Amino acid sequence: MIPRYARPEMTAIWSPETKFRIWFEIEAHACDALADLGVVPREAARTIWEKGGAATFDVERIDEIERTTKHDVIAFLTHLAEIVGPDARFVHQGMTSSDVLDTCFNVQLTRAADLLLADIDALLAALERRAFEHRDTVTIGRSHGIHAEPTTFGVKLAQAHAEFQRCRARLVAAREDVATCAISGAVGTFANIDPRVEEHVAEAMGLKPEPVSTQVVPRDRHAMFFATLGVVASSMERLAVEIRHLQRTEVLEVEEYFSPGQKGSSAMPHKRNPVLTENLTGLARMVRSYAMPAMENVALWHERDISHSSVERMIGPDATVTLDFALARLAGVVDKLVVYPNTMRANLEKLSGLVHSQRVLLALTQAGVSREDAYGLVQRNAMKVWEEGADFLIELIADPDVTAVLDEETLREKFDLGYHTKHVDRIFERVFGRAA
Amino acid sequence: MIPRYARPEMTAIWSPETKFRIWFEIEAHACDALADLGVVPREAARTIWEKGGAATFDVERIDEIERTTKHDVIAFLTHLAEIVGPDARFVHQGMTSSDVLDTCFNVQLTRAADLLLADIDALLAALERRAFEHRDTVTIGRSHGIHAEPTTFGVKLAQAHAEFQRCRARLVAAREDVATCAISGAVGTFANIDPRVEEHVAEAMGLKPEPVSTQVVPRDRHAMFFATLGVVASSMERLAVEIRHLQRTEVLEVEEYFSPGQKGSSAMPHKRNPVLTENLTGLARMVRSYAMPAMENVALWHERDISHSSVERMIGPDATVTLDFALARLAGVVDKLVVYPNTMRANLEKLSGLVHSQRVLLALTQAGVSREDAYGLVQRNAMKVWEEGADFLIELIADPDVTAVLDEETLREKFDLGYHTKHVDRIFERVFGRAA
Amino acid sequence: MIPRYARPEMTAIWSPETKFRIWFEIEAHACDALADLGVVPREAARTIWEKGGAATFDVERIDEIERTTKHDVIAFLTHLAEIVGPDARFVHQGMTSSDVLDTCFNVQLTRAADLLLADIDALLAALERRAFEHRDTVTIGRSHGIHAEPTTFGVKLAQAHAEFQRCRARLVAAREDVATCAISGAVGTFANIDPRVEEHVAEAMGLKPEPVSTQVVPRDRHAMFFATLGVVASSMERLAVEIRHLQRTEVLEVEEYFSPGQKGSSAMPHKRNPVLTENLTGLARMVRSYAMPAMENVALWHERDISHSSVERMIGPDATVTLDFALARLAGVVDKLVVYPNTMRANLEKLSGLVHSQRVLLALTQAGVSREDAYGLVQRNAMKVWEEGADFLIELIADPDVTAVLDEETLREKFDLGYHTKHVDRIFERVFGRAA
Amino acid sequence: MIPRYARPEMTAIWSPETKFRIWFEIEAHACDALADLGVVPREAARTIWEKGGAATFDVERIDEIERTTKHDVIAFLTHLAEIVGPDARFVHQGMTSSDVLDTCFNVQLTRAADLLLADIDALLAALERRAFEHRDTVTIGRSHGIHAEPTTFGVKLAQAHAEFQRCRARLVAAREDVATCAISGAVGTFANIDPRVEEHVAEAMGLKPEPVSTQVVPRDRHAMFFATLGVVASSMERLAVEIRHLQRTEVLEVEEYFSPGQKGSSAMPHKRNPVLTENLTGLARMVRSYAMPAMENVALWHERDISHSSVERMIGPDATVTLDFALARLAGVVDKLVVYPNTMRANLEKLSGLVHSQRVLLALTQAGVSREDAYGLVQRNAMKVWEEGADFLIELIADPDVTAVLDEETLREKFDLGYHTKHVDRIFERVFGRAA
């Protein structure tokens, strides 16, 4: 996570201030539950909320204490005692640091997931708007980078929309996976803390109780979370790469919006480069890479070790802040993408009709020619177009073996673009639930 | 995937025979749908089923044809034509290779997922049985590899059970993610094939239609599938590592079952090594690694390129066969695990009562000592045990600062193991829905 | 590793037959050394060579024994005893399985490295030949996929050549890293086997003695080896991606050789797809992915555990066989690549002179215009070309602010292609040690 | 990279101030070379050095300019012009941004490598000192976590020393790999800048000229660099894991130094946890993970795209700062490691002599017993020790089948520890070049 690729709202989730506030809330809610159970005085719980709720935790002071204790939660509790006074001895009763740390981390991750979901919603909205705008903008479909058959630019965007709908559903599941609270004490037996405390804090913090923790929340949950971000990043890369391809000089069917004053190159002033989507391609590599240490974190030793902690201090912010920035950037790129329908049409016509070859092939077989013979007929005419720049329709009309089975009018009909777009409505219905 | 780590049922899913059979079924179902639509003669569809259904596809012959055509689906169709005769020209009408290949791959992956789900069910059954067997087998919980507080061996297994329940749910979702059928023709526009063909084939093959494909099924689905396998593998590694730790000479609380005739070492005949769980640790690394190329596969160029294909030819079998083998091996390890409750108890007592330190700490604070003072009192007695081998209870009783607030009887009570296991029923209820 | 992407020579390195032959050689050389030291009878060592050297090891028989012993080296030694007779008791004296397994694995890896080096040499030869062939074939250089300034196709290939020279050097270092022999007995102390045995076997097998092993060869060596293969694969991907780009319909400056009879698409007979380089892109993802489990293998427990073994049984062949296949395929692609200099020229001229903008910019500043003003002058004319399809030179000549400082002749001179290729000789000198 | 795991010297390499200073030096050296070639006035070059050399670049001002231009190098050059005045127009002549950015990045990486080499040297020194201190401290060697045969703690550390010697050599090679300078202008043809400028700047900055760049330094160099860091991190993890194992309660042969005032647990005051090495284990996962995006960066499009940039802005600091911190921490852990030779001896004796089983096995075979029979004799006595807690030597003496071939004195001799340490000197000679 670096400021260059960070937005304030997501960054704030990972600030020390936010973290200490969440720690406080977990401790204070636990005190409430302990008061309900008669373990701590009701008055003490109230005092903790009042004094702690009003206080601004002093990050520098906590850091200073940690330099002695070498333990962050103890440092925080010591500072809290400075604020709350004698009643502070009722804080953290029967709990371990992990109860606080892990529950807090899950609160942060679920809040991060909420921002990411909002990012995806914005992206989906941009995709939907642009998809309908270009529902009927005919363009060439390409397989292997080679012209294949016509499609529409709207269908391309519809595909992306469907993909990010899936990403959204996966992110909802990933959020659910980490939305647990563990307040179970040392090695997770609840020996020193009643399970009802966990249930109370969970509800208060918008989480579910962890069915069985071992002092820590099991890390398969987080592995799944970060792996899911990696998949979302990969989908983001796909759309970014598509735009990069479409912007290249020889294709130039779309361009990233180029703001006045922006300079493409310190040397070549004519250049307008797809730098945003190139940037997104790199960011996708980063977000993807965090999945691996998250998976390696799962196999903690026995009831817990702390090897996961340094990883999570890094990938927690790194993965979520970077993906948030990237998704927002991608939504912006889609929203303002400059589209050139005329170039799309010109590119489409570049192969002098070859893109209709399959239709001719089918027509031949349907007229009774064997598949192998039809394939040969089409290919020999196609090769003339390919190698000599001839026009495919004219070649076919001039080939007596072809016209022996298909007359000119039938042949001409095979070159109709409408043939390729006739099911676009159906595809839009499937993706957006509406065709127009 | 290597035979050493492969089981026949999963391996069979990836055999050429299975693949060609699925290809045939896709093509034949498509013919049925085309016959319904009046595009191909009903009789031809019937002939295709009859002749193709009865035939055994000749893998060598198909390979031979492919050496010329350099195209596997064309090679198969050519061979199918040899079997079916002239009606073969109605096969594959309006379809592309990807329609067959991708739908087949998804059929294979869903079948693989079904086997993996069965593996997890077997593992869950073994874990549940052993968990209840050792529900009350007291053992020391360890954090950082250091004795912490008592728990039970059953709780350890309950934790694993809860983790594999989550793995199961994730695998169900991953299966769902790849259970789609795409029969949409070149660049996915349905120009040459009616969407109803896709709907028919999907239903016949137990899949759902892909809402919008671009000739290929979008690869974010597969990225999610293989990433999920990586997470499952990581959970597997966690349990394997736990067993390896518990079997080490100084701990020896459990042992993998050691069959008669088995030799642990060519040099040291007394050795019984946790080789199965070490093996599982390595296999987890492999399954995890396949997530990365699967994610890199997502960003195909334009409507499709074929870079994903070589990856999937490898990780399709590699990931599923290896994980299937590993899960089955893990279920066997759990099922036959030799457990030594007496050693667990002996290890637990090794620290001369130090594991009860937190209870004493809490009792002191509840008796009015400040948290900091209580911590100091406990620590100075704990350090004597740690450094001089003293007995913790005896030291506490001899410490007048302690007995000033807690009498001997109260102190003794703090060393009761039952205190730590009192919520085991509650944990079992949460995990298994029953406590006994 | 799958047969589709495997070549016989590399595959043979990983066959059971090869493995058992190497095991035998290690054991027999060790017997020689032990005979030198007077530990075993000279005659026995001779018998072992004679009988074992003449024998074909029966893989099925060894597998059968292993099913009982569950230990592969013991199974082999048992089978060897069946062949050698009573003198077999002198085999494996003071050794452990790892001495055999690890030394064998390193022999296999160094042999594999030798094949990979030969592959790279073939690739370098093809690159060099084609680079000189196209040393002066002018083509447009592209940054961000956007036309930048002219270069030559030979320079592109020279870049690839320099990159694979580096890959070669890295591979030599990686080979060196794994070219060690460990015969140090249990936990590596040489307690039961004299270090001179290790030195003898090392030399006989073309290896160096491992300075300090712990029963196993330390796995950082192998991590480095497989990480290096990952880097080589990434370089391979770069060249493959370049070719894919150059073959796309709108660019079409090169094409993979398309053999007669080959079919590009089952549906579209005109298609000639860059399927080989797409395939290589996927294979690069695979080879790269194996670096991760190899790195995770380093942290074995204490003197050794066996978690690395399952990983290496898979990635040993998977990584080397796949990379060997891929490098050979890439050499073939380069060797037979169809190059279209005319299209290169046509594409270069597509931007109507804009690619010379930087020269004009420089000329303006050298004529005394401030950088900012010069930039503005160039950009306003460039934008006319970009947006209205004008010709850059004509626009400049018509711009009085430009001609105020640069006359027409000077401007024309800035559009000379030779300007861009004047240092090609120098680059070739640097890369190939010769310019022609 | 987060402050918690960062040291100031390495962090400073990646500060904006350092970056702009390096940019300036590259530009100013280039001006010198251009002055030598008569392209720019000597006086201008001198002015640039004088004014720029004296200036402190204003990071905020540069950021402000970048917000308009969206181009960092242009922003810097604009700011430089503010400082230098009219002569600034001679700066950056014929160069592109990448010439500056890539050369700067390589300067930063080589400086980072120098710090990492110093870290490794400190670690090597600590390992060497402790290795000689414990050269003869006998301890049990463990394979699979199971007691195997005796070794010394010094040998364990010698192994680590040899491993980090290799890491050092790899790091030197990796540094060499990125120590190049590219000043080759647009698409790397030197069209606008003489190759002698590159040669001059390279030498001035302590680098070598890049033989053929394509505007950017080829990224295989950086992939190799970061992959190497990943391997070093994995070696670091190995030593960290070893210490974690040795500190666990049941083993407790070493402990991380525990400073006065440090608290192990908020709940259990007796705990002293190996938190530093657990932390290192997590950091190793992070450093390793950065290898993957670095490898994905290699396949830039055509002469260059900018997707690598966002990756490198993150992993440049992340990987080097984290590894620097971790290596320094590891050196500290080794330096201050508390070692318990008595516990090592006590653990060694735990198996009642079983660790000598192989010696007995060998003695039996050397006395003429077949390997299979000898194995059976040893195993049946070993099993009694294992299962009934008997003493291995006493059992052997009581077994008439054993004493039939080996008398009691011979048997006793096989239990001598000196037998296992007799080659320690040899191993130390190999690793340190000296035995004492």
Q: Give me the mean pLDDT over the A305-325 stretch.
A: 98
**Banded model confidence at residue B268, pLDDT cuts 50, 70, 90:** low
Answer yes or no: do A218 and B163 touch at CB < 8 A.
yes
Answer yes or no: do A142 and C383 touch at CB < 8 A.
no
Structure confidence by residue, pLDDT tens digits, A410-421: 999 999 999 999
- CB nearest to C305's CB, from B278, B293, B315: B278
For residues D283 and D75, is the Cβ–Cβ distance under 8 A?
no
**Banded model confidence at residue D262, pLDDT cuts 50, 70, 90:** low
Q: At what angle do helices D97-133 and D153-178 cross, to 10 degrees?
A: 170
DSSP for A98-116, written as a single string? HHHHHHHHHHHHHHHHHHH
Quote the percentage of chain D above a pLDDT of 70.
97
Q: What CATH number does the domain located at C95-350+420-436 have?
A: 1.20.200.10
Quote the percentage of chain D above a pLDDT of 90.
85
What stretches of D2-109 adopt beta strand conformation (E)? none
Any CB–CB contact under 8 A between D278 and chain B? yes
Answer yes or no: do D362 and C162 touch at CB < 8 A.
no
pLDDT at A70: 78
Any CB–CB contact under 8 A between B245 and chain D? yes
CATH fold match for the domains D97-257+264-351+420-436 and D354-414: no
Structure confidence by residue, pLDDT tens digits, D41-81: 999 999 999 999 999 999 999 999 998 887 899 999 999 99
Using the Cα atoms of residue A60, residue A62, residue A65 and residue A70 in order, give the sign of their dihedral.
negative
Answer yes or no: do C266 and B71 touch at CB < 8 A.
yes
Please check the confidence at residue A333 and state whether its pLDDT lies above 90. Answer: yes
- Which of B139, B140, B143, B146 is the mutation pick for testing D, counting most D CBs within 10 A? B146
- Which of C142, C253, C258, C271 is the mutation pick for testing A, counting most A CBs within 10 A? C271
pTM: 0.96
Which chain D residues touch C421 with a CB distance below 8 Å?
189, 191
Structure confidence by residue, pLDDT tens digits, C170-193: 999 999 999 999 999 989 999 989
Which chain C residues touch D240 with a CB distance below 8 Å?
299
Any CB–CB contact under 8 A between D364 and chain C? no
DSSP for B154-202, written as a single string? HHHHHHHHHHHHHHHHHHHHHHHHH-EE----GGG--SSS-HHHHHHHH
pLDDT at D365: 87
Any CB–CB contact under 8 A between C267 and chain A? yes
- CB nearest to A223's CB, from B88, B149, B231: B231
The CATH superfamily holding the domain B354-414 is: Fumarase/aspartase (C-terminal domain) (1.10.40.30)
- Give the DSSP letter of residue A55: P
For residues D164 and D191, is the Cβ–Cβ distance under 8 A?
no
3-state SS assignment for residue D6: coil
Which of A369-383, D212-226, D408-422 comes out lowest in average pLDDT? Answer: A369-383
Please check the confidence at residue C264 and state whether its pLDDT lies above 90. Answer: no
3-state SS assignment for residue D311: helix
Cα A183 from chain centre? 31
3-state SS assignment for residue C358: helix
Q: What distance in Å separates the CA atoms of residue D380 and residue C278, rounded to the nearest whole number?
A: 60
- CB nearest to B5's CB, from C74, C266, C310: C310
For residues B307 and D299, is the Cβ–Cβ distance under 8 A?
no
Structure confidence by residue, pLDDT tens digits, D86-104: 999 899 988 999 999 999 9
Any CB–CB contact under 8 A between B376 and chain C? no
- Give the DSSP letter of residue A260: T
- CB nearest to C148's CB, from D186, D223, D420: D186
| Subunit partners of chain C (3 or more CB pairs within 8 A) | A, B, D
Which chain D residues touch C86 with a CB distance below 8 Å?
370
Any CB–CB contact under 8 A between C304 and chain D? yes
Surface-to-core class of residue B365, CB atoms within 10 Å of its CB (0-12 exposed, 13-18 middle, 19+ buried)? buried
Q: At what angle do helices C72-84 and C42-54 cross, to 10 degrees?
A: 100
Pairing of strands D208-209, D180-181: parallel
**Which value, to the nearest 10 degrees, does the dihedral of the CA atoms of residues D14, D20, D26, D28 take?**
-160
Q: Which CATH class is domain D97-257+264-351+420-436?
A: mainly alpha
Q: Give me the mean pLDDT over the D287-299 stretch.
A: 98
For residues B1 and B323, is the Cβ–Cβ distance under 8 A?
no
Please check the confidence at residue A168 and state whether its pLDDT lies above 60. Answer: yes
Alpha-carbon distances, residue D381 vs B265, D386, D404, D415 (angstroms): 16, 9, 15, 15
Answer yes or no: do B231 and A295 touch at CB < 8 A.
yes
Any CB–CB contact under 8 A between D309 and chain C? no
Q: Give me the mean pLDDT over the C22-46 stretch.
A: 97
pLDDT at D257: 93
- CB nearest to C261's CB, from B69, B278, B292: B69
Which chain C residues touch B289 with a CB distance below 8 Å?
289-290, 292-293
**Banded model confidence at residue D432, pLDDT cuts 50, 70, 90:** very high
Please check the confidence at residue A69 and state whether its pLDDT lies above 90. Answer: no
For residues C277 and C244, is the Cβ–Cβ distance under 8 A?
yes
**Phi-psi sector, B186: left (phi>0), alpha (psi -120 to 50), beta:** beta
Q: Give me the mean pLDDT over the D237-264 stretch.
A: 89
**Phi-psi sector, C145: left (phi>0), alpha (psi -120 to 50), beta:** left
Answer yes or no: do C291 and D296 touch at CB < 8 A.
no
Please check the confidence at residue C263 and state whether its pLDDT lies above 70. Answer: no
- CB nearest to A70's CB, from D263, D282, D307: D263
Please check the confidence at residue B270 and state whether its pLDDT lies above 60. Answer: no
Q: At what angle do helices C16-36 and C42-54 cross, to 10 degrees?
A: 170
Q: Which residues of chain B from 98 to 117 reach within 8 Å of chain A, CB to CB?
A: none
Please check the confidence at residue A152 and state whether its pLDDT lies above 90. Answer: yes
Answer yes or no: do D304 and C358 touch at CB < 8 A.
no
Which of B18-22, B76-80, B110-114, C271-275 comes out lowest in average pLDDT? Answer: C271-275
Closest-CA residue of chain D to B273: D144
Q: What distance in Å separates the CA atoms of residue A330 and residue D266, rounded to the nearest whole number?
A: 45
| Subunit partners of chain A (3 or more CB pairs within 8 A) | B, C, D
Please check the confidence at residue B391 and state whether its pLDDT lies above 70. Answer: yes
Alpha-carbon distances, residue C132 vs C45, C245, C269, C428, C434 (angstroms): 56, 22, 34, 9, 10
Please check the confidence at residue B269 and state whether its pLDDT lies above 60. Answer: no
What is the ipTM metric for this complex? 0.95
Among residues D126, D133, D115, D136, which one has the least CA distance to residue D160? D126
pLDDT at D389: 82
Answer yes or no: do A289 and D292 touch at CB < 8 A.
yes
Closest-CA residue of chain C to D78: C372
Which of A323-332, C424-433, D258-267, D420-429 comes out lowest in average pLDDT? Answer: D258-267
Which residues of A belong to the active site? 144, 265
Tokens standing for A83?
């604020």
Closest-CA residue of chain A to C379: A269
More confident residue, B17 or A372: B17
Q: What is the rounded average pLDDT for all residues in chain C?
A: 94
- How many CA atoms, within 13 angstroms, populate the side-chain half-sphere of residue B422? 12
pLDDT at A261: 63
Q: Which residues of chain B from 408 to 427 reach within 8 Å of chain A, CB to CB?
A: 419-424, 426-427
Structure confidence by residue, pLDDT tens digits, D269-289: 557 899 999 999 999 999 999
* The CATH number fitting domain B96-257+265-350+418-436, selected from 1.10.357.10, 1.20.200.10, 3.40.710.10, 3.40.190.290: 1.20.200.10
Answer yes or no: do A94 and B245 touch at CB < 8 A.
no
**Banded model confidence at residue C429, pLDDT cuts 50, 70, 90:** very high
Please check the confidence at residue C267 and state whether its pLDDT lies above 70. Answer: no
- CB nearest to B293's CB, from C2, C4, C285: C285
pLDDT at B144: 95
Please check the confidence at residue A84 and state whether its pLDDT lies above 80. Answer: yes
Taking residue C389's Cβ as centre, other Cβ atoms within 10 Å add up to 8
Q: What distance in Å separates the CA atoms of residue D53 and residue C231, rounded to the nearest whole number?
A: 39
Cα angle: D161, vertex D163, D168; to 5 degrees:
90
Any CB–CB contact under 8 A between A136 and chain B? no
pLDDT at C270: 57
pLDDT at B110: 98
Answer yes or no: do D97 and A309 touch at CB < 8 A.
no
Structure confidence by residue, pLDDT tens digits, C295-315: 999 999 999 999 999 999 999
* Domain limits, chain A: 1-93, 97-190+206-351+419-436, 354-414
Q: What CATH number does the domain located at B1-93 have?
A: 1.10.275.10
Any CB–CB contact under 8 A between D382 and chain B? yes
Tokens standing for D115?
């710090």
Please check the confidence at residue B264 and state whether its pLDDT lies above 70. Answer: no
pLDDT at A270: 57
Structure confidence by residue, pLDDT tens digits, A171-186: 999 999 999 999 999 8
pLDDT at B263: 62
Please check the confidence at residue C339 and state whether its pLDDT lies above 70. Answer: yes
Answer yes or no: do B298 and A88 touch at CB < 8 A.
no
Tell me the nearest-neighbour CA distance from C292 into chain D, angstroms.
Answer: 8
Q: What distance in Å separates the CA atoms of residue C415 and residue C405, rounded to the nearest whole number?
A: 17
pLDDT at A389: 81
Tell me the nearest-neighbour CA distance from D68 into chain B, angstroms.
Answer: 32
Tell me the nearest-neighbour CA distance from B219 into chain D, angstroms.
Answer: 18
Q: What is the rounded average pLDDT for all residues in chain D?
A: 94
- Give the DSSP letter of residue C215: S
- CATH fold for domain A97-190+206-351+419-436: Fumarase C; Chain A, domain 2 (1.20.200)
Any CB–CB contact under 8 A between C366 and chain B? no
Q: C45-67 b/e with 16+ CB inside 10 Å = b?
A: bebbbeebeebebeeeebeebbe
Q: Which residues of chain B from 314 to 333 reach within 8 Å of chain C, CB to CB?
A: 314-315, 318, 322
Structure confidence by residue, pLDDT tens digits, B332-379: 999 999 999 999 999 999 888 888 888 898 899 889 898 889 988 998
Which of A304-313, A342-351, B402-411, D262-271 comes out lowest in average pLDDT? Answer: D262-271
